[in-house]
Amino acid sequence: MASVDLLRDGHVATIQLNRPEKLNALTKEMTKQLFEIVYEVNQDDELRVVILTGVGEKSFSVGSDVTLLDEYGTNWHFRNRLEYCDLLRGMKKPLIAMIGGYAVGGGFELALCADLRFAAESAKFGATEIKLGWIGGGGVTQLLTHLIGYGKAMKMILSGEIISAQEANEMGILEALVPDDQLRNYTYEFAHKIASYSPVALQTAKHGCKIALSTPLDVGIMYERDMQTISFYTEDKEEGIQAFKEKRAPKFQGR
């Protein structure tokens, strides 16, 4: 049965697209589940880092199931179906896309919504919607252009070509490219490492970096200083300093 699953492992949450027989193509019900899970994760203070992935080795996701798009009866409902991308992009907590297999069409956009993209060497990427007569609506024209520049983004979007993980890495789409059999361990080791840090520091760091994409430099630096001040006057900062003095690992509580 198609579903979106939430798995918990300490301070790390995994959002898992579970429809491997259809390359993790999203149904209307799955997008509803995704909304609910993202909201739950955002509100749960025990969860500090989030991993987004797909079940199976063949596909991360191919986005919306194109055979079911007629279920959206009006232009308005069709347009707003992609608000789950906005929700993922707006998560307070660091979001890592763990990508095996195909990440094409709307699945590529899901990966672009993440803060970090870790991929297996066999992964494939593409903005393939143009081959079907339309373009992506989950952010591909904006996010990809920010990430790799106008010319490279245009080439991918206009051609609809599927590229290898090696090409994606060289273009700057990925933050890590690892052998297939090491992807899971690499991703979870990194996620648990940063989840051991102060959640206040993690979230303010994320917000500061995201602000840099849409504000002038001077405004961004002022925002960063505000965020530093917020994180400095916390119990977690006191714990970090005390642990440093005592030569032990800090125990951050998110306060």
Residues assigned a catalytic role: 109, 129
Give the chain's length: 255
- Phi, psi dihedral angles at 156 (to 5 degrees): -65, -45
| Ramachandran class of 252: left when φ > 0, alpha when ψ lies in -120 to 50, beta otherwise | beta
Contacts of 181 (CB under 8 A, 6+ apart): none
Sign of CA dihedral 187, 59, 178, 90: negative
Nearest to 6 by CA among 55, 35, 41, 56: 41
CA distances from 52 to 39, 110, 175, 212 (A): 14, 9, 15, 24
